[in-house]
Amino acid sequence: MSFCACRLSFLASVTMFQAAAKTLSASCQAVSFSIRHYCRKTPTKLRISEALSGAKLGENVKVQGWIRSVRRQKSNLFLHVNDGSSLQSLQIVAGSQLSDPLLTFGSAVEVTGVLKESPHQKQPFELEADQLHVAGECNPMDFPFKIKERHSLEYIRQFPHLRCRTNAFSSLLRIRSEATTAINSYFKENGFVQIHTPVITSNDCEGAGELFQVELLGSENEEGENFFSVPAFLTVSGQLHLEVMSGAFTRVYTFGPTFRAENSQSRRHLAEFYMVEAEVSFTQSLEDLTKVMEDLFKSATEHVLAHCAEDVDLFHKHVTPGHRDTLDVMMKRRFLVITYSEAIDILSRSSQKFAFPTNWGCDLQTEHEKYLVKHCGNIPVFVTDYPYDLKPFYARDNQDNPAHTAAAVDLLVPGVGELCGGSLREERLDLLRARLEEAGLDDTYSWYLDLRRFGSVPHGGFGLGFERYLQCILGVDNIKDVIPFPRFSNSCLL
């Protein structure tokens, strides 16, 4: 091969090598970019409560929530964002270039940035944002809650679809959730089996006739036929179903909604509310029941105070000032026990004028209950041994003529009145049958008599109104302010 041909071949090889090297270099750069792209760490999503505790400090994180305050400066933007996991909000610090007119009080945002220690003493940590995204707009002019106003419970009650956005009601809902956990934990730790009792039932446990009837809607019900072949109602209590279960389990409980068609708009009544009910087998002592009631109250309250301290303090400082002292006394002192006869004697000797009579045999009204608690030093009081005729057919007859009382008990608490009601159940078949026959209920409750015929044991139980419990520990005056969606006569919003 000639010299020129060799030189051309060499130059061609060099050119091909350079082209290959250039291609390889470009490919490596692409791979390098790809590696950098895929190795970039995805922001860790945190709840506000986690961010406030310093989780993932110094790392790239993402929080989501609703703006509680906005402050714009020349070079910086400050937001406080809350997601419902904590009473406290997380401060977001961003450059002014991230400012957006849609960042307003009430709007929903997603924020990405680095969680850092805050130089300010009031907040230990803050988020230095590099991305801000408005997920949901909110016009602060139309929003019923204003950024610097403290709204009353009565005012926010007008907006059941929005009141969870307020500090007070979001605190209430966290307390309610934690109290539910505490109650279930107490029963689990003390050997109770949870029973899901039915919402639809064919019996009237309380015998008061305040029932919501369940019927078919529309043309299918033109002939007035019952879907269940018998009249059916929304439950007023799960007690009778718990009594069924107490024939196989020594300790059972239920926790669910109950309904009363009581035409009342008072501060202590609802048409739909939640009840905690328990049944204990192999007992002939009201003391066994009162011990469970007191232990349940104190155990649940201790749990709430430990896990929702800030939320409870909000109520005790701003909604019901001074109530914490009352609650502390309740927690430290043993609950008192008096008989119904002693209660009537206290009321009769009182100089206070009552709207309702205080003769022996009269049922205790709210005004009586609150007076008795106050008379006893604002300590919860068990009132036992009520007149037999005041109690339902299942209450155990004390056979203590001439007074003739039933082995029944109510727990009265400050600010509320009756919180719990219970009794020993009549386990003696002959006495129970006689009372049912007298009331004309022997056919309706023939199954209830069967419970006494097949392996019956002495037993008793009680029910605790969950909303009244929340009223008691927080000092809230109106029961409509401790339930997410209150139902009462002439009102069923949402």
The per-residue DSSP string of 47-64 comes to -HHHHHTTTTTTSEEEEE
Kindly state whether residues 121 and 251 are assigned to the same domain: no
Q: What is the pLDDT of residue 264?
A: 78
- Could you tell me if 199 and 59 lie in one domain? no
Alpha-carbon distances of 4 from 12, 13, 15, 17, rounded to whole Å: 12, 14, 16, 20
Q: Span 73-100, mean pLDDT?
A: 94
Q: What is d(CA 395, CA 3) in angstroms, rounded to the nearest whole number?
A: 122
Residue 271: per-residue pLDDT: 93
Read off the pLDDT band of 18 (50, 70, 90).
low
* DSSP notation for 237-290: -SHHHHHHHTTT-SEEEEEEEEE-------TT--SEEEEEEEEEES---HHHHH
**177 and 72 in one domain?**
no
- Same structural domain, 189 and 121: no
In this prediction, residue 155 has a pLDDT band, given cuts at 50, 70 and 90, of: very high
Do 244 and 303 reside in the same domain of the chain? yes
Which residues lie below 8 Å from residue 149, measured CB to CB, with a gap of 6+?
Answer: none
Specify whether 371 is located in the same domain as 475: yes
Say whether both 195 and 281 belong to one domain.
yes
Question: What's the pLDDT at 278?
Answer: 98
Mean pLDDT for 420-427 is 97
Which residue would you say has higher pLDDT here, 131 or 215?
131
Instruction: Compute CA 338 distance to the chain's CA centroid, rounded to the nearest angstrom.
Output: 31
Q: Contact 153/475 with Cβ under 8 angstroms?
A: no
Structural domains in the chain (count): 2
Domain that includes residue 319, residue range: 163-215+228-481
Q: Specify if 154 maps to a domain.
A: no
* pLDDT surpassing 80 at residue 358: yes
pLDDT surpassing 50 at residue 31: no
Mean pLDDT for the stretch of residues 430-451: 92
Amino acid (one-letter) located at 474: L
CA distance 58 to 76: 20
Does 468 have pLDDT greater than 90?
yes
Question: Domain ends where: 96, 121, 136?
Answer: 136
pLDDT above 70 (res 12): no
**Same domain assignment for residues 173 and 131:** no
122 and 171, same domain (yes or no)? no
- What tens digit of pLDDT does each residue of 204-222 get? 776 666 899 998 876 555 6
Residue 10 confidence class, pLDDT cut points 50, 70, 90: very low
pLDDT of residue 40: 54
Does residue 18 lie within any of the structural domains? no
pLDDT at 37 (0 to 100): 44
The answer as to whether 6 is a domain residue is: no
pLDDT interval class at 20 (50, 70, 90): low
Given a cut of 70, is residue 193 above it in pLDDT?
A: yes
Burial (CB count <10 Å: 0-12, 13-18, 19+), residue 207: middle
* Cα 103 from Cα 332, distance rounded (Å): 48
Q: Does residue 4 surpass a pLDDT of 70? A: no
Residue 212: what pLDDT? 92
Q: What is the DSSP string of 444-456?
A: TTHHHHHHHHSS-
For residue 8, is pLDDT > 90?
Answer: no
Q: Are residues 89 and 54 in the same domain?
A: yes
pLDDT value at position 16? Answer: 58
pLDDT at 84 over 80: yes
Q: Confidence class of residue 22 from pLDDT cuts 50, 70 and 90?
A: low
- Lowest mean pLDDT segment, chosen from 27-41, 81-95, 375-389, 407-421: 27-41
Residue 17: per-residue pLDDT: 53
Residue 265 has what pLDDT? 75
Which pLDDT belongs to residue 71? Answer: 93
- Domain contains 312: yes
- Kindly state the percentage of the chain with pLDDT values over 70: 89
Is 62 part of a structural domain of the chain? yes
Structural domain contains residue 337: yes
Q: Are residues 170 and 66 in the same domain?
A: no
The domain that holds 100 is classified in CATH as 2.40.50.140
End position of a domain, from candidates 136, 151, 177: 136
Please tell me the distance from the alpha carbon of residue 361 to that of residue 373, in angstroms, as a whole number. Answer: 20
Q: Does pLDDT of 24 surpass 60?
A: no
Tell me the mean pLDDT in the region 438-444. Answer: 87
- Provide the mean pLDDT of the chain: 90
pLDDT band at 442 (very low <50, low <70, confident <90, very high): confident
* Candidate from 38-47, 144-153, 171-180, 252-261 with smallest mean pLDDT: 38-47
27 compared with 379, residue with greater pLDDT:
379
Question: What pLDDT shows up at residue 300?
Answer: 98
Average pLDDT of the residues in 128-143: 95
Mark residue 242 as left, alpha or beta (left: phi above 0; alpha: psi -120 to 50; beta: remaining).
Answer: alpha
Same domain? For 207 and 92 the reply is no
Range in 213-217, 370-374, 411-415, 459-463 the model is least confident about: 213-217
Q: Can you give the pLDDT at residue 224?
A: 62
